[in-house]
Structure 1
Amino acid sequence: MAIIRPFECVRPNTEVAARFAALPYDVYNREEATKEVEREPMSFLKIDRAETQFSEDVDTYADEVYLKARELFLKAIEDGTLITDSDKAYYIYELTMDNRTQTGIVATASIDDYENNVIKKHENTRADKEADRIRHVDSLSAQTGPIFLAYRASEAINAEVKKAKENAPLYSFVSNDGIRHRVFKINNPESVMCIKNAFEKIDSIYIADGHHRAASAVKVGLKRRSEAKNYTGEEEFNYFLSVLFPDEELMIMDYNRVIKDLNGLSSIQFIKALEDKGFDVLEAKEAVKPSKKASFGMYLEGKWYELRAREEILSTDPVDGLDVAILQNNCLTPLLGISDPKTDKRIDFVGGIRGLKELEERCNKDCVLAFSMYPTSIQELFAVADANRLMPPKSTWFEPKLRSGLFIHRI
């Protein structure tokens, strides 16, 4: 049973929403974040990455950075950039990219559901990456970047979403990257109760993206719980900001690989080794974007190939059966010596949104080999999480990215 609650949302006023909404904090490095805030001074990114307000000699994680984030957040509330809704409501967040729409419910999810594995994970988190967001949430006493959650579609929730979209949106704008964003509010008591009850019938919710943000929000909540006087369980720190999408609307893009060298092999030796390891290697006349599982595109010395994994290296295991695992276990580790793709500097990863041309360009610049992947499916992600297993690194790439600053949950 999942507890998914409505909440009193802090959000930008209608006039500034398009300028205020920002891509997630971890999309940018410091230099890129600074340039983005210079381009759009109203961007929420200046609160999300407050080091942009300081010279480079100030450490990204210095105390004054988090104090500045809090100062800018409170100033945005004071000057009316941000408004606070006084009623507990759900919100509908619709994103359209390339004529394809996905619609989520903005709500708060229970930290106990996270702890008890009702909300399931498929990635490990790193303490150093959590530390920054823990301090950010704690300093602002607010969660500002929603966790991207997924669930198996519910007819009752779909019906309420459809009904809500018949009303005028709170926001409707197209961001710089061409994504259309529309937001609707659900505060009708009957609809609120219907959605709440429908989620209570759902056994499992899945983190699609945002494992570090989720872990950080939970740790802040548990810390505040331990420090609270007259604790009731109703406190807002017991819940974290989320957008929940039905599985039928989600699309995972390919997450492609580029390699710096052939581990001492010649091209001929490498292709022969691939064949010996269980792949059929076929020359292609054009760039290969795999159209089915267990097939891969390969770019080597200016030529494209299609790789097909033979039956002998396929697996029904939820992790080993993933395409990223087939490539890792039968090529990257044994042939190229890349046993830990998280730390090995000889491999890099290219999100599918950049296209196959980016793979060719990387091979002309700093790499010699590229693999284009067939995307992991949302059902595969669910199967890994249901088995309490972890996905291999860089298995999923979600687009479009949820904006930060459109919905804020004060704790």
Structure 2
Amino acid sequence: MAKIIPFKAVLPTADKVALVTTRSYDEYSATELASWLDFNPFSFLHIMSPAYINQQKIGINERFKMVANKYNDFKRDGILVKQDKPAMYLYKIETKKNVFVGIMAGTSVADYQGNQIKKHENTLEYRVNTLKDYFKITQFNTEPVLMMYPENDALQQWISDKQKTTPLYDFSTTNREKHTLWSINSQEEIDFITNLFDSFENLYIADGHHRSASAHLLHQENTDSSNHKLDYFMSFLISENNIKINEYNRLVHDLNNHSIPDFLSLLDKDFVVIKRDEQIWKPTQKFEFGMYLEGNFYSLQLKEIPNSTNKLETLDAQLLYDKILNPILGIEDLRTDSRIDYIPGNKSLLEMIDKIDNGAFKIGFNLFPASIEEIKYLADNDLTMPPKSTYIEPKFRNGLIIYEL
């Protein structure tokens, strides 16, 4: 059973919602960030980066305090408003290629601790601790954990009917996305949804393992607290059939002192290597890899399909590491090795080509995306994917819905 709750959110005023909300802070280049901060006084980026010019000169905890102060300034000025009534929210994101619809609600730290909420990625201790300190000092979170639930006809019908009602917000953004938000605040609707989720045996984290782990750590540090808001963390709950799983493509700076003929010869042990005439080539099935080297694309087809029921051993990202990245190219730690970098699969392969053609990297590999079944198998069996195995959509607008701690 999965416990979810409504909560008293903080929301932008309707007239400023398109001005306030932003992409994830990490997605902005320094130049783009400076431009947004300069011309848009309502941008949530002012909260996320309150000391942009001098942020390298202050400590991280001091910066977090400045985030909290700027957040309170936005509330004082009426740009952000605390809602009087607990609610859940139906949230629809329309991109150029996909439509995502899910429910924003509070999910239970106890469910996370008890493994009713399943995980498939390892977390880095320093990142979990940093996020925990951020939540503790700022006292808010605006980036939900993306969580999957099993397809359910009754819930899907309710979601379809709800979209026919008048939304709370309906706005477009400069990156050509449309965002629509409906408030779910009647007791009848809330009871219907919570009872449905109570019937689900498990939920699965799709994206946000560090945020959920940080919420858990903060809760552990405050077990004697009467602040029950720490018992939950904000999540975007979406049907497992409605998420988009992209691959993460790999770029490596060098061939680990191998010549190109020697490198291709080493690949021949495990792969059928075919030089492709296409300007851009992508794998079309599992156990197939794309490779870009010296201005040419190659397909790498695994000669021997692993005979294993353990889906970690048959995961394409793991096979690429086991067969090429580690034994041939000498990549040890996928998280920390400075010789490797990653490009999410929602970006054009032209970006990978450009980075290699201009000499920044020597070789690139593109993968076939992992499946929902692989993610759930790993989570159910307490196994974890290699770093940067999946880039999962949707992504959310910062400052649209805020969960206060």
Say yes or no: TM over 0.5: yes
Q: State the Cα distance separating 1:295 from its structure 2 match.
A: 0.8
**Matched position secondary structure for 1:297:** strand
The answer as to whether partners of 1:164 and 1:185 remain within 8 angstroms in 2 is no
Change (3 A) 1:370 1:236: same
The count of corresponding residues between Structure 1 and Structure 2 is 403
Alignment partner of 1:166: what SS? coil
- Alignment counterpart, residue 250 of structure 2, candidates 247, 257, 265: 257
Shift of 1:98: 1.8
Q: Distance in 2 between matches of 1:310 and 1:42?
A: 56
TM-score by length of 2: 0.94
Cα deviation 1:358-392 (Å, max 9, x = unaligned): 11111112111111111112221111111111110
What is the alpha-carbon distance in structure 1 between the residues aligned to residue 205 and residue 12 of structure 2?
26
CA distance in 1, matches of 2:112, 2:24: 21
1:355 partnered with 2:353: no
Equivalent residue in structure 2 for 1:71, among 59, 69, 72: 69
**Aligned pair in 2 of structure 1 residues 271, 368: CA closer, same or farther (>3 Å)?**
same
Structure 2 match to 1:176 = 174
Match in the other structure for 1:157 = 155
**1:367 aligned residue (342, 361, 367):** 361
Q: Using the alignment, how far apart are the partners of 1:307 and 1:57 within structure 2? A: 44
Contact 2:244–2:394 (8 Å) recurs in 1: no
Unaligned runs of 5+ in 1: none
Name the structure 1 match of 2:21: 21
* Structure-2 separation of matches of 1:81 and 1:246: 32
The reply on whether 1:280 has 2:279 as its aligned counterpart is no
Structure 2 contact 306–313 (Cα < 8 Å) conserved: no
Distance 1:410 1:288 in 2: 46
Distance in 1 between the 2:50 and 2:162 partners? 35
Residue-by-residue CA offset, 1:178-228 (whole Å, 9 max, x unaligned): 2211111112222211110111111111111111111222222232333x2
* Alpha-carbon shift at residue 147 of structure 1 (Å): 1.1
Where do 1:393-408 residues align within 5 Å? Answer: 393-408=387-402
Other-structure match for 2:404: 410
Could you tell me how far apart the structure 2 residues matched to 1:270 and 1:314 are?
26
- Percent identity among equivalent residues? 33
Distance in 2, matches of 1:242 and 1:279, equals 41
Task: Name the counterpart of 1:7.
Answer: 7
Query: What is the letter of the counterpart of residue 72 of structure 1?
Result: K
Match for 1:125 among 123, 126, 129? 123
Distance 1:69 1:347, change over 3 A: same
Distance 1:34 1:207, change over 3 A: farther
Q: Distance in 2 between matches of 1:317 and 1:36?
A: 47
Question: Where do 5+ consecutive residues of structure 2 fail to align?
Answer: none
Residue identity matched to 2:76: E
Partner of 2:58: 59
Q: CA deviation at 1:28?
A: 4.6
Alpha-carbon distance in 1 for matches of 2:59, 2:397: 22
Partner Cα distance (1:132, 1:38) in 2: 28
Instruction: Letter of the 1:77 partner, please give it.
Output: K
Match of 2:380 in 1: 386
Q: Which runs of 4+ in 1 moved over 6 A?
A: none
- SS at 1:167 equivalent: coil
Q: Which amino acid aligns with 1:326?
A: L
Helix, strand or coil: the match of 1:363? helix
Distance 1:60 1:148, change over 3 A: farther
The CA deviation string for residues 96-155 of structure 1, in whole angstroms up to 9 with x for no partner, is 112420111000001111111111112222232223322221123222221111121222
2:229 alignment partner in structure 1: 236
User: Whole-Å Cα distance in 1 between the matches of residues 164 and 2 of structure 2?
Assistant: 27
State the distance in 1 between where 2:297 and 2:267 align. Answer: 15
Counterparts of 2:92 and 2:172, CA distance in 1: 12
Q: 1:33 to 1:379 in 2, by over 3 A?
A: farther
